[in-house]
Amino acid sequence: MAERKRCIRCGKRAVRPRRAKGRTTPYRTMPCLPIPEALALPECGYCRNLSIPDDETTLRALHESYVASLRERVELAIVTLHDVRSLRKIERLLGVSQGYLSKLRAGTSNPSPELTLLLGLLASSPKLMLRRADAFWALPADGCLNLAMRSAL
Ligand SMILES: [Zn+2]
């Protein structure tokens, strides 16, 4: 059996690689990214302190989990928005190329965190937020924020 390492939190010699369900870690834009269950990470058996090493396997697994979460969020947002408006009209509103939202919905393309957040915010209240977005683009630049907020109420 491999020697257990000393825990940086409690000082006990109880740290060994462990796999577990339900673990999360802050990662890029997400405060609670799910850690893949199959990923073995150094954890203290005494105080449960979890370390996230920066080796290639760990970084790749966390990145894959992050991208999967972006894809899932964007697919849900697009399905919700599509109940209210055609994808082509939403693509025009966002200034993205024709067919891009279909690709994201089908999971054949990876969304950026920026677009994921924008679609998520629009989908949080689709009719209201799409009206605000329409007004934002329709109004002159010097009054677009205040007027778009007012016109959508
Ligand atoms: Zn510990």
For residue 46, the CA-to-ligand 1 centroid distance in Å is 5
For residue 121, the CA-to-ligand 1 centroid distance in Å is 40
Q: Note the pTM of the prediction, 2 decimals.
A: 0.87
Q: Of 41 and 145, which is predicted with more confidence?
A: 41
Here the contacts of 16-19 (C-beta below 8 Å, separation 24 or greater) are 16/42, 16/43, 16/45, 17/41, 17/42, 17/43, 18/42, 18/43, 18/45
For residue 5, the CA-to-ligand 1 centroid distance in Å is 10
What mean pLDDT do residues 7-19 have? 96
pLDDT of residue 42: 96
For residue 6, the CA-to-ligand 1 centroid distance in Å is 8
Write the pLDDT tens digit of every residue in 36-63: 999 999 999 999 999 999 999 999 999 9
For residue 34, the CA-to-ligand 1 centroid distance in Å is 22
For residue 50, the CA-to-ligand 1 centroid distance in Å is 9
For residue 61, the CA-to-ligand 1 centroid distance in Å is 24
| Continuous H helices in 30-143 | 56-82, 87-94, 100-106, 113-124, 126-138
Neighbours of ion ligand 1 (CB under 5 A): 7, 9-10, 44, 46-47, 49
Give the other-Cβ count within 10 Å of 111's Cβ: 23
Write the pLDDT tens digit of every residue in 94-144: 999 999 999 999 999 999 999 999 999 999 999 999 999 999 999 888 888
- Bridge partners for 7 per DSSP: none
